[in-house]
Amino acid sequence: MKLSLILAKHVTVVVTRVLIKVNKLQLMGELYFFSGKLTAHLQRSYIDIIKGTVMSEETIFSKIIRQEIPTPLLYQDELVSAFRDISPRVDSHILIVPNKHIATINDVTSEDELTLGRMITVAKKLAKEDGIDESGYRLIINCNSDGGQEVYHIHMHLLGGQPLGTMLSV
């Protein structure tokens, strides 16, 4: 199935449902091709999928990203996805997750810089949409057990909607 939409004068989006078989691994999903620079990035990601390097470890977040676990997505593009935390700690608690599996911040490479930057710009966009940009919010990325990481697929917590108090309570 293929669907093309003209969104603006110079932007075309093509959605293609795919099934890729790598050895015994089957990957199903949709590829989004945007005009210009993003197309090249997706082609590179497509090659990474064939090599078996994307989503090499299964996490609950990778299932949400692929919508195998139906979850309302607040944002999704070729690099990141965002959705509300299932157990919010504050009034507004959103998770921003790279689509590529990266277990911890210690596993980030220079190739991930665009993705990490996108996580921050998406946080800014979602804070504004959620009405917490003016009152303030906090962005948190936990690393490993002492840092409070519970899911080993890096993710940024966007927290706000109420006073958050001091940074740490130890």
Per-residue pLDDT of 40-76, as tens digits, reads: 333 334 434 433 334 447 899 999 999 999 999 999 9
Residue tagged active-site, from 10, 41, 101, 155: 155
Both tokens of 4, joined, read 């093309």
- For the chain, what are the domain ranges? 1-54, 57-170
Write out the H or E segment, with its range, that includes residue 76. Answer: strand 75-76
Q: How far apart are CA 136 and CA 127, in angstroms?
A: 9
Q: Is 41 a catalytic residue?
A: no
Going by C-alpha positions, the residue among 146, 161, 149, 164 that lies closest to residue 94 is 161
Fold of 57-170: HIT family, subunit A (3.30.428)
**C-beta separation of 119 from 96 below 8 A:** yes
Q: How far apart are CA 27 and CA 24, in angstroms?
A: 10
pLDDT at 58: 86
Q: How far apart are CA 10 and CA 14, in angstroms?
A: 13
pLDDT at 147: 95
- Sites in the chain below the pLDDT cut of 50: 1-17, 20-56
Both tokens of 169, joined, read 């309570």
